[in-house]
Amino acid sequence: MWWLFAFLIIPGDAQRGAQLFESQRCISCHSVQGKGGQSAPDLGQRTARAFSPSLMASLMWNHAPQMWSAMDRANIPRPQISDEQAADLYAYFFAFRYFESPGDAARGRQVFVSKKCSECHQVDGAGSEAPAVTQWRSASDPIELARNMWNHAPKMKDAFAKRKLNWPSLNGQELTDLMLYVRNVPGAKGGPPQFSPAAPDTGAALFEAKGCTTCHRGDLDLAKGRLRTRTSTDLAVALWNHAPKMVQLPPDISNAEMRRLVGYLWSIQYFEAPGNVSRGAKVYASRKCGSCHGDQSSGAPPLTSKTKNLDSIGVVSALWRHGPDMLGKMKEKKIEWPRFKNTDMADLLAYVNSLN
Ligand code: HEC
Ligand code: HEC
Ligand code: HEC
Ligand code: HEC
């Protein structure tokens, strides 16, 4: 199974990312949801598309030359960013873009009632056995949400059966709406956004220990056969919808364990938009990457899976480290700075990693 880690994506930590955002002075130009400078885009803003590592990588590529000249004008040294730091930055933005797809709080309120969450959960106050929504920690922590959806689904299945209610399965949009509603309830506890998956190496063992492999053929069937990026809300929904399929009560999962499982899903690129090798070859050609990277004399290192397995996080750190030199060489060769849209970046990486 170790070959899978060839694609290892380092899981980041939102809190370290927040520190980095200040220490690297990103904050002097950018804000994250209103806090920080005003001269550059707010990086915590929701987009219509799911926020994946390859989306972060392409946004940064597209804007890098303008950003670097803004830094020169403001006398801010260009930061060097390691792979680990790029992962932390990603986790930080991701935590803020928790509701990756647009939601509707009013619709969420209806989901809360129609899916019978309101049977046990009050909106606020104390006294009931289930935590009131104002107390939900899950509201700011997608890993906590996934954990709770897994752990309490089987107990709820019983509770529902006793009351002769049908099991309320959920879809991604419904949970997105519901959590948006929860976050906006007056008095919601919230707390700072969190996202910190753990290193994936022990997550694979846990995947087995928790019995996931009794039904899933390990990692493969979770990573394949999909067309779009999956969000953390999609994961929580998938875990919730397991309950009716479970013959016996599944084991509880602790927060530390869920962080490892998410780190593991991360490493098999469960959350990443899948790339397409032949589309990637076209991106590589049209952006003229090969005119330097395919020519030893240019000083550009060859981009193949041999030199280094490039993932979106690695692209971000490479961009900050090598980008200015690359931009200089492109100006000499009169090559326009490449820009990426949609799945271009994911496709390009799939192509580069297929080369030997
Ligand atoms: C001197 C000001 C300045 C600093 C410092 C700065 N940026 Fe930027 N950044 C910009 C500007 C200006 C743009 C928009 C450029 C454009 O319009 O093409 C931008 C664009 C971006 C974008 C694309 C945003 C989008 O949604 O389209 C990302 C991501 C980004 N910066 C990340 C960072 C990170 C991470 C740091 C710190 C390591 C940083 N920036 C530091 C000025 C800055
Ligand atoms: C049969 C009663 C019952 C129903 C119905 C119910 N829950 Fe719960 N829920 C609980 C209990 C009890 C807990 C406390 C955690 C535990 O012990 O599993 C909880 C905890 C939670 C938490 C974790 C709170 C936190 O601190 O983050 C979330 C999220 C949650 N429920 C979501 C839902 C959603 C969404 C629905 C509707 C689809 C729902 N629940 C319906 C009983 C219920
Ligand atoms: C009883 C069999 C069974 C067990 C045990 C099981 N799963 Fe699943 N899982 C399924 C089935 C069946 C589906 C397909 C669900 C569907 O299409 O509704 C699924 C779907 C999923 C998905 C969504 C896949 C996608 O395409 O997005 C994830 C993620 C997942 N499981 C994770 C886990 C994890 C993590 C564990 C262990 C903690 C686990 N599963 C244990 C049967 C199981
Ligand atoms: C005009 C020449 C040129 C073009 C075109 C070019 N690059 Fe580069 N690239 C370079 C040079 C030179 C370096 C090494 C810079 C350094 O050492 O700081 C580099 C470094 C890199 C690195 C870092 C490699 C490592 O080992 O960490 C990556 C990733 C990269 N380029 C990707 C691309 C991609 C993707 C394209 C096409 C979209 C591209 N480059 C187009 C010249 C170019």
pTM of the prediction?
0.79
Q: Which ligand 1 atom is nearest residue 81's CA? A: 38
Ligand 4 contact, 322 CB (< 6 A): yes
82 and 138: one domain?
Answer: no
- Structural domain including 336 reads 2-96+275-352
**Domain shared by 154 and 255, yes or no:** yes
pLDDT at 31: 84
Q: Whose CA is nearest to atom 43 of ligand 2?
A: 120
Q: How many CB atoms lie within 10 A of CB 331?
A: 12
**Judgement on whether residues 92 and 230 belong to the same structural domain of the protein:** no
In this structure, the answer to whether residues 32 and 165 fall within a common structural domain is no
The pLDDT value recorded for residue 46 is 61
Whole-number Å distance between alpha carbons of 100 and 46? 6
- Same domain? 182 vs 224: yes
Ligand 1 contacts CB of residue 19 (under 6 A)? no
Kindly report the number of other CB atoms within 10 A of residue 15's CB atom. Answer: 17
| pLDDT the model gives residue 309 | 67
253 in the same domain as 115? yes
Nearest atom in ligand 1 to the alpha carbon of residue 71 is: 1
> Is there an atom of ligand 4 within 6 Å of 331 CB?
no
Same-domain status, 255 and 281: no
46 and 133: one domain? no
Q: Given 232, 267, 302, which residue is the final one in a domain?
A: 267
Q: Residue 306's pLDDT is what?
A: 60
Mean pLDDT for each consecutive 10-residue tract of the chain (356 residues)?
A: 39 81 87 82 70 85 92 89 86 69 84 89 78 87 90 83 85 88 83 76 82 75 68 86 82 89 80 84 92 88 72 88 91 92 88 84
In the prediction, which pLDDT does 311 show?
82
Cα 305 to averaged position of ligand 2 atoms, centre (Å): 45
Number of domains the chain contains: 2
110 & 245 share domain: yes
Domain boundary among 239, 267, 295: 267
Phi, psi (deg, nearest 5) at residue 154: -65, -40
319 in ligand 1 pocket by Cβ < 6 Å? no
Distance (angstroms) between ligand 2 centre and the Cα of 187 equals 18
Instruction: Say yes or no: 90 and 194 in one domain.
Output: no
> Do 147 and 194 reside in the same domain of the chain?
yes
Same structural domain for residues 128 and 236? yes
Residue-wise DSSP of 144-185:
HHHHHHHHHHHHHHHHHHHTT-------HHHHHHHHHHHHHS
So what's the pLDDT on residue 148?
92
125 lines ligand 3 (CB under 6 A): no
Ligand lying nearest the CA atom of residue 153: 2
pLDDT of residue 339: 93
**Residue 83, C-beta contacts closer than 8 angstroms, at least 6 positions apart:** 10, 313, 314, 317
Cα 334 to ligand 4 centre (Å): 15
- The residue out of 205, 239, 267 marking a domain boundary is 267
Q: Is the CB of 152 under 6 A from ligand 2?
A: yes
